[in-house]
Amino acid sequence: MKNLAPIAFLLLAACGSDDAPAGQSAAASGASGPGSGGSSASGAGGGCAVVSAVTVDGAAIPGKDVTLGVSDDGSGHAYELAWSAGKGTLSAPTGTSVTWSIPEDAAVHVAEQVTVTAVATAPGCADQTVTTDVAVDWPAALRTLVLENPMARGSSDVADHYASFRQIPPENRCKVASSDPTNLAGADYEAWLGAVMACVDALGPHIHVIVPVWGVPYKVDGRIDDLAQPSKAAVSLDALLAYGKDSAALTAAVQNPYYQQGQSMTGTYEPWVPFGELRAADPKDYFLVARIDGADVDAAKALVDRTEAAEMLASQGKLEGVVYVDGNKGVPHPATDDFGSYESGEWNIIGVETVFQALKTYDVVADYNGEEFGTAPAPLACPDALYYAGWYSYGNYNDVFTWKPGAIGGHLDSCSACDIRGDQDWSARALRKGITATFGAVSEPYVAGMPEYDQFFAYLTAGASFGEAAYESTVIGAWMMVWVGDPLYRPYGSL
């Protein structure tokens, strides 16, 4: 293992927005209703009040129609209504019930508040106005594209299973053929990417998430320069695909524009930002890419089932388990944390303990001697494991973990996800043993190419989705990381 000045990357191998509301109504008193920015009523005093609120029947989704009406206060006055909406079109300007057509270009990246107004006119009474702000947004399911490989038997079955769980419609499915379900030749990447982007373009710019499923290749050869060697490296297809159309021109790994700055030694991190806000601030069409995968078709389906079970527990505040942290540089901890150094890798692990000790939600078992969990003097067993971060065995998994529903973990080594469908690498074995989500390197990443483990868990527990926490905690993009698990899984936020 050696320093690679001036880039200071270290070779590890030598080391020892969520769903829109289903319906909305806001009272004219000014109280806020579900998905509403508040409402108000004016005019028509002295017994002439005839309506008290605007009602919205249906989910306020771009490109869809909803029915607008009013709550009648039962005064008995005959009245007429005049309608207006801050965006979209109305089937008629008057009527007790009208259809509001919401334009497809609304809420492209973040939810929009659209004001809807009804003016009631009754003989002998002053006009009465009722208004409400309606939250218009794309549900997470409609911001997601599911990617499958029709040449891999069972890939569509996994896509069916995941789409059913997330209620993703058929039009948000994309079939792109590849004869090899593991590696995509670099020369074939541009054509493959073009087919994927055609699916995205057919849906619109609101797509934020791409979910490859079992059977879709997860490596691409011969396009990206190695960070330290004069050769091309086999890199993560998902990490490259995250850059969308721009990835066709990439020949080297890049600084991830969505990485949020953090400092493990001090435990300070920029706050995570909802991905839609990042997209709204950056004109580039980049994506969160994480996959539903595993040893075989049944294993990939089981990953979906584990996610569903975890979300049920999370919604009830019942995610339970132990946090395991496995450093290897002893105590006292390193005095430095230079980016790309072994010390930085250790501090990324140490920081996980710091994050969870501060939360005071779960028991934390941390060990910093050179042996891994399962080998004395480290603890010999890791029961009820919910979260794990540790290092370092090359291409090895110590079978000492009992994974709880919702478990997430990653092992910092050069080949932790070289073969995510195999039976040797850390992530592959963890998937076989029941982990709900994991991550790792498909080939030598160097220390700098791994995520900031502490930052990942800090963002996850702050309310980020698995996909958001993944990409906002990884410094280098278009490189080695593959994230296996549902990118929409959000254990501590709105599910």
pLDDT for position 21: 40
176 within some domain:
yes
Kindly report the pTM of this predicted structure.
Answer: 0.91
Statement to judge: residues 297 and 311 lie in one domain? yes
187 within some domain:
yes
Integer Cα distance of 244 and 173 in angstroms:
17
pLDDT for position 3: 33
Statement to judge: residues 95 and 185 lie in one domain? no
Integer Cα distance of 360 and 304 in angstroms:
29
State which of 103, 119, 137 marks the end of a domain.
137
- Give me the residues paired with residue 67 across strands: 57, 99
Question: Among candidates 376, 351, 340, which has minimal Cα distance to 459?
Answer: 351
Statement to judge: residues 217 and 79 lie in one domain? no
Statement to judge: residues 106 and 222 lie in one domain? no
Structural domain including 116 reads 24-137
pLDDT for position 24: 43
Statement to judge: residues 467 and 479 lie in one domain? yes
Statement to judge: residues 176 and 119 lie in one domain? no
State the burial class of residue 92 (Cβ atoms within 10 Å of its Cβ: 0-12, 13-18, 19+): exposed
State which of 122, 137, 152 marks the end of a domain.
137
pLDDT for position 40: 57
91 within some domain:
yes
Give the total number of structural domains in the chain. Answer: 2
Statement to judge: residues 311 and 444 lie in one domain? yes
Statement to judge: residues 401 and 345 lie in one domain? yes
Integer Cα distance of 165 and 145 in angstroms:
14
Query: 10-residue block means of pLDDT along the chain (495 residues)?
Result: 36 42 38 43 62 93 96 81 95 90 96 96 90 97 98 98 98 98 98 98 97 98 94 97 98 96 96 96 93 98 98 96 97 96 97 97 96 95 98 92 98 96 96 98 96 98 98 98 98 78
pLDDT for position 4: 34
Statement to judge: residues 187 and 164 lie in one domain? yes
192 within some domain:
yes
| Residue 96 backbone zone (phi > 0: left; psi -120 to 50: alpha; other: beta) | alpha
Statement to judge: residues 101 and 168 lie in one domain? no
- Give me the residues paired with residue 479 across strands: none
Statement to judge: residues 317 and 385 lie in one domain? yes
